[in-house]
């Protein structure tokens, strides 16, 4: 593969990796948001339980506690389903990120090897040119010594 083709491939694989990383970060942010919602719900339940104990007319006398507990249960189930779905998406995104990272590293290694190959080739050419110059210089010196 040519150097310019490898560099193009490197750009493509790096872009794909960055896109996968951004996707994973969005999912991780969503997961954190859902976890914060769950914590807030738990705090609300604890606060409501504390307020009910201090209230002169507890919600349970009018059936409000049953409605409240039902709503909390449904909300918690909904949040847990969202969290599970998000974590499944996160796992898929992480798998995709690992693959794109691997591809990016392979292409980087190929680019590095190509650079080393080109550098060695240039060094070999330079060495050959230097040797030719030395031979020419030695030949010129010998010719001059024969004429003098």
Rounded CA-CA distance 59/55 in Å is: 9
Q: Is the residue at 140 inside a domain?
A: no
Q: Are residues 103 and 16 in contact, defined by beta-carbon separation less than 8 angstroms?
A: yes
Q: What is the pTM of this model?
A: 0.73
* Burial per residue of 74-101, b for 16 or more beta-carbon CB atoms within 10 angstroms, e otherwise: eeeeebeebbeebeebbeebeebbeebe
43: domain range? 3-104
Tokens found for residue 113:
């090897």
One pLDDT digit (tens) per residue for the chain, 148 residues: 788 899 999 999 999 999 999 999 999 999 999 999 999 999 999 888 777 655 655 655 677 778 888 999 999 999 999 999 999 999 999 999 999 999 999 999 999 999 999 999 999 999 999 898 998 888 888 787 877 6
Q: Is the residue at 97 inside a domain?
A: yes
Q: Is the residue at 21 inside a domain?
A: yes
Q: Is the residue at 122 inside a domain?
A: no
Report the length, in residues, of the chain. 148
Burial of 107 (0-12, 13-18, 19+ CB in 10 A): buried
Domain count, the chain: 1
Q: Is the residue at 52 inside a domain?
A: yes
Q: Is the residue at 45 inside a domain?
A: yes
Q: Is the residue at 133 inside a domain?
A: no
Q: Are residues 28 and 98 in contact, defined by beta-carbon separation less than 8 angstroms?
A: no
Q: Is the residue at 47 inside a domain?
A: yes
């Amino acid at each position: 593969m040519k150097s310019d083709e490898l560099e193009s491939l490197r750009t493509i694989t790096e872009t794909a990796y960055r896109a996968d990383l951004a996707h994973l970060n969005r999912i991780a942010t969503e997961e954190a948001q859902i976890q914060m919602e769950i914590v807030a719900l738990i705090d609300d339940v604890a606060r409501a339980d504390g307020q009910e104990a201090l209230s002169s007319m507890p919600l349970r006398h009018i059936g409000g506690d049953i409605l409240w507990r039902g709503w909390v249960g449904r909300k918690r189930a909904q949040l847990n389903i969202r969290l599970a779905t998000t974590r499944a998406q996160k796992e898929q995104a992480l798998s995709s990120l690992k693959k794109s990272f691997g591809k990016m590293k392979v292409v980087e290694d190929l680019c590095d090897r190509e650079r080393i190959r080109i550098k060695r080739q240039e060094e070999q050419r330079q060495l050959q040119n230097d040797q030719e110059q030395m031979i020419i210089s030695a030949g010129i010196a010998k010719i001059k010594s024969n004429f003098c």
